[in-house]
């Protein structure tokens, strides 16, 4: 596989890398630099060619606008996507001086992350969106995710292990439905769709964000989910798969910092309805993520990588606890957002 790349003869070693839930990622170390080689998960990304086409277009555009982004490395035939025995591979330059984090308590980092996510959208505001393909239809259609979950519960023995969680989800049906209706009035933009903490490269020395990586889900979508998904991971004091749910609590300082960074960058482009739905979006995407983990648990782990049999169930419980925490003090978070928006309005941004 590696033979087809120009750096092949310089390879010193390579090994599995990172903690992504989807692709198989390898770090390749050579005497002429480091590379990230990935086997694309074709169960998740069925339209692999379109995924690479989207990434190619978006990265070229970001570069043209002077932003930092992933750099695709072509193989010896000039190809960006390589098919070897029914597996699809692609390669990126390793982003030197950077790292991704699984969890952090440093609110300054999250301010930088908020800015980076906002910047991503901002840089792509005038991108010719029609050129982008929908690579995963209904990726953030929470209602469809809900329906899929409930289509699986009849005659499924595993339901006994998660009936409280299923009940929790069912109690949110109306909220999901109403939110999906509101989304119809929200502008469609070029969005990342997977803005969790470890999809953002951070400069190890300055702690500033370098750029968003994992561009596989770049598609037309709602900016609200890019904000919401970043919030989902950032504010959780525990990791996404922490079993001790007492540890799943919200770091309010981080909620403030990330929101501030994000809003500073996006304020000029945000519509009123987007401003109104910010917090609800974070709640909905956390619920959606829990629904997806629970669905995968009931389907016997066909989508997300797992380390042990109940891994997806643990992740789902964790996300639902986070939703409960968000709901418990909803007013506080809404007020934080309002105060940031007010500050920006007064500044005349």
As measured in angstroms, the least distance from the Cβ of 109 to ligand GN1 is 18
100/141 with CB nearer ligand ADP: 100
Give the footprint of Mg ion on residues 194-253 (CB under 5 A): 199, 214
213 binds, options ligand ADP, Mg ion, ligand GN1, none, Cβ within 5 to 8 A by partner type: ligand ADP
With contacts defined by CB under 6 A, name the span among 15-23, 59-67, 164-172, 180-188 that binds ligand GN1: 15-23
240 binds, options ligand GN1, ligand ADP, Mg ion, none, Cβ within 5 to 8 A by partner type: ligand GN1
Give the footprint of ligand ADP on residues 200-239 (CB under 6 A): 213-214, 216
SS (H, E, C) the chain: CHHHCCCHHHEEEEEECCCCCCCEEEEEEECCEEEEEEEECCCCCCCHHHHHHHHHHHHHHHHHCCCCCCCEECCCCCCCCEEECCEEEEEEECCCCEECCCCCCCHHHHHHHHHHHHHHHHHCCCCCHHHCCCCCCCCCCHHHHHHHHHHCCCCCHHHHHCHHHHHHHHCCHHHHHHHHHHHCCCCCEEECCCCCHHHEEEECCCCCEEEECCHHHCEEECHHHHHHHHHHHHCECCCCCCCCHHHCCECHHHHHHHHHHHHHHHCCCCCHHHHHHHHHHHHHHHHHHHHHHHHHHHCCCCCCCCCCCCHHHHHHHHHHHHHHHHHHCHHHHHHHHHHHHHHHHHHCC
Q: Does the protein bind ligand ADP through residue 92 (CB under 6 A)?
A: yes
95 binds, options Mg ion, ligand ADP, ligand GN1, none, Cβ within 5 to 8 A by partner type: ligand ADP
Q: Does the protein bind ligand GN1 through residue 36 (CB under 6 A)?
A: no
Q: Does the protein bind ligand GN1 through residue 214 (CB under 6 A)?
A: yes
Question: Which one of residues 121, 142, 191, 217 is an interface residue with ligand GN1 (CB under 6 A)?
Answer: 217
95/326 with CB nearer Mg ion: 95
* Residues at the contact surface with ligand ADP, assessed by CB under 6 A: 17-18, 20-23, 25, 36, 70, 92, 94-95, 100, 198-199, 213-214, 216
* Residues at the contact surface with ligand GN1, assessed by CB under 6 A: 20-22, 44, 194, 196, 199, 214, 216-217, 240, 289
């Amino acid at each position: 596989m590696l033979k087809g790349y120009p750096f092949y003869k310089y390879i010193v070693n390579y090994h599995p890398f990172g903690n992504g839930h989807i692709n198989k990622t390898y770090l390749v170390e050579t005497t002429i630099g480091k590379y990230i080689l990935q086997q694309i998960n074709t169960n998740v990304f069925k339209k692999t060619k379109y995924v690479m086409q989207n990434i190619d277009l978006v990265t070229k555009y970001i570069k043209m606008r002077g932003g930092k982004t992933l750099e695709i490395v072509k193989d010896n035939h000039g190809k960006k996507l390589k098919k070897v025995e029914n597996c699809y591979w692609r390669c990126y330059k390793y982003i030197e001086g950077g790292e991704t984090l699984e969890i952090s308590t440093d609110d300054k980092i999250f301010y930088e992350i908020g800015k980076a996510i906002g910047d991503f959208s901002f840089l792509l505001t005038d991108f010719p969106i029609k050129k982008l393909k929908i690579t995963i239809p209904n990726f953030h259609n929470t209602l469809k995710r809900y329906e899929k979950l409930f289509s699986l519960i009849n005659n499924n023995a595993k339901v006994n292990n998660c009936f409280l969680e299923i009940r929790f989800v069912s109690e949110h049906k109306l909220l999901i439905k109403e939110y999906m209706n509101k989304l119809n009035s929200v502008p469609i933009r070029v969005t990342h769709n997977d803005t969790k903490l470890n999809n953002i490269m951070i400069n190890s020395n300055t702690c500033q964000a370098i750029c968003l990586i994992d561009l596989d889900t770049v598609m037309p979508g709602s900016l609200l989910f890019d904000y919401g998904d970043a919030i989902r991971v950032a504010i959780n004091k525990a990791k996404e798969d922490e079993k001790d749910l007492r540890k799943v609590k919200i770091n309010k300082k981080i909620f403030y910092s990330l929101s501030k960074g994000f809003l500073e960058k996006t304020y000029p482009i945000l519509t009123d309805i987007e401003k109104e739905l910010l917090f609800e979006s974070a709640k909905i995407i956390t619920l959606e993520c829990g629904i997806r983990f629970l669905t995968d648990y009931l389907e016997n782990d066909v989508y997300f990588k797992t380390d042990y049999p109940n891994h997806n169930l643990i992740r789902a419980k964790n996300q639902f606890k986070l939703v409960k925490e968000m709901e418990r003090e909803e007013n506080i978070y809404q007020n934080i957002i309002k105060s940031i928006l007010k500050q920006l309005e007064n500044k005349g941004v």
